[in-house]
């Protein structure tokens, strides 16, 4: 795993000791790969999962007459979770910047959307901007945390990934449409078509333990959007916020929100690519490094004859092959 924290390096060493004797073939091998996949996903989701647990716990057990309003308690808890993520080396300082960017872009959208009546929060507490409690920005930050962590936990590589500047322009258009469609024509279906056109050829390579999972990137986007949609249903049931049709009584979030979360996934992915640029799969990178090492160690085809009477030149010492560090985090 790339760019691991010190805690993840220790976890990686322990996981390698446990799994080094695991079978390479058969049903048990498949079970090992599935287990590693689930553990890596759980590790990547730790920020969002913890925040969701806190939201549900506040709904079930937080007293209505408490001195600190529930929304303020959620904000304070979210800040403590973020501090713990850094203190226990679950995130790097570099990753924190992209998470802060998620927080800012999400809060800006929240301010606009709540003012437009798209959804609403309980009017309580003092840690808020207008009608938006500050913990709402951490829900977007949780998505950002998952994105940056899953990128390095699975050593993600891509084939036929589109140019970053093109994806950035499209992501900016998607973000703008979240605001503009309230006043003008909603271009989401055209934007969705452009997303499909742009990322349809892209294949994601995710390393588990010994095996590498290859999936169409669009299918991955859709899968993550579904999981966020399910988390949104839990959040609205817990009373963290409510859509207009949930004010009288809770009901499942409209499936039409799946398209919104899919488009939000595109914004999230593009933001992460400016921290973790898309790279070729590990197999392709290894072949490139081996080819470069072989070319560097091969003797020159044209050797100049030594001048008469001159001492022969000393042979150049062989180049040392660079060894790539073992993975970190969970088994690589």
Cα radius of gyration (the chain): 25
Q: What is the Cβ-side half-sphere exposure of residue 197, based on CA atoms within 13 angstroms?
A: 8
Rounded CA-CA distance 254/162 in Å is 32
CA distances from 9 to 208, 212, 332 (A): 16, 20, 11
DSSP 253-289: PPTTHHHHHHHHHHHHHHHHHTTS-----HHHHHHHH
**Cα–chain-centroid distance for residue 284?**
22
Q: Is the pLDDT of residue 307 over 60?
A: no
Contact 192, 262 (CB under 8 A): yes
Q: Is 166 helix (H, G, I), strand (E, B) or coil?
A: helix
Instruction: Name the more confident of 3 and 332.
Output: 3
| pLDDT score at 299 | 56
Rounded CA-CA distance 234/14 in Å is 34
Helix axes 70-87, 93-116, angle to 10 degrees: 160
Mean pLDDT of 42-54: 94
Q: Read off φ and ψ for residue 206, nearest 5 degrees.
A: -120, 120
pLDDT digits (tens, 9 = 90+) for 187-243: 999 999 999 999 999 999 999 888 899 999 999 999 999 999 999 999 999 999 999
Q: Read off φ and ψ for residue 212, nearest 5 degrees.
A: -120, 130
Q: Is the pLDDT of residue 75 over 50?
A: yes
| pLDDT score at 127 | 94
Single out the residue of 128, 142, 140, 124 nearest to residue 239, CA to CA.
124
Residues constituting the chain:
332
Rounded CA-CA distance 253/246 in Å is 8
Query: Domain extents for the chain?
Result: 6-285
Q: Which long-range contacts (CB under 8 A, 24 or more apart) does 93-97 make?
A: 94/3, 94/275, 95/145, 95/148, 95/149, 95/275, 97/275
Q: What angle do CA 177, 220, 20 make, to 5 degrees?
A: 145
Instruction: Name the more confident of 11 and 147.
Output: 147
Q: Is 203 helix (H, G, I), strand (E, B) or coil?
A: strand
| pLDDT score at 221 | 94
| pLDDT score at 285 | 63
Rounded CA-CA distance 33/154 in Å is 12
Rounded CA-CA distance 159/280 in Å is 6
Question: What does the mean pLDDT of the chain come to?
Answer: 85
């Amino acid at each position: 795993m790339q760019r691991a924290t010190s805690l993840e390096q220790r976890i990686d060493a322990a996981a390698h000791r446990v799994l080094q004797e695991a079978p390479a073939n058969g049903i048990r091998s498949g079970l090992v790969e599935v287990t590693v996949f689930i553990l890596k996903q759980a590790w990547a989701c730790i920020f969002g999962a913890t925040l969701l647990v806190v939201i549900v716990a506040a709904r079930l057990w937080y007293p209505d007459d408490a001195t600190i309003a529930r929304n303020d308690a959620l904000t304070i808890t979210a800040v403590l979770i973020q501090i713990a993520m850094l203190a226990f080396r679950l995130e790097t300082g570099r990753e924190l910047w992209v998470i802060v960017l998620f927080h800012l872009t999400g809060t800006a959208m929240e301010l606009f959307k709540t003012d437009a009546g798209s959804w609403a929060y309980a009017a309580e507490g003092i840690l808020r901007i207008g009608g938006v409690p500050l913990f709402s920005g951490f829900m977007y930050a949780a998505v950002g945390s998952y994105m940056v962590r899953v990128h390095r936990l699975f050593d993600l590589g891509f084939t036929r990934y589109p140019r970053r500047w093109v994806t950035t322009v499209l992501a900016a258009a998607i973000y703008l449409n979240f605001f503009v469609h309230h006043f003008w024509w909603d271009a989401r279906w055209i934007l969705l078509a452009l997303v499909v056109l742009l990322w349809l050829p892209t294949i994601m390579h995710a390393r588990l333990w010994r095996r590498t999972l290859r999936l169409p990137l669009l299918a991955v986007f859709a899968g993550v959007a579904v999981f966020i949609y399910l988390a949104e249903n839990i959040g609205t049931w817990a009373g963290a916020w409510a859509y207009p049709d949930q004010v009288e009584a809770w009901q499942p979030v409209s499936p039409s929100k799946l398209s919104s979360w899919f488009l939000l996934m595109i914004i999230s992915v593009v933001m992460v690519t400016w921290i973790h640029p898309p790279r070729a799969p590990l197999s392709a990178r290894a072949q490139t490094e081996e080819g470069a090492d072989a070319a560097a160690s091969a003797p020159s085809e044209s050797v100049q004859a030594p001048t008469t009477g001159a001492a022969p030149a000393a042979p150049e010492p062989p180049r040392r092959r660079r060894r790539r560090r073992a993975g970190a985090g969970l088994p690589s």
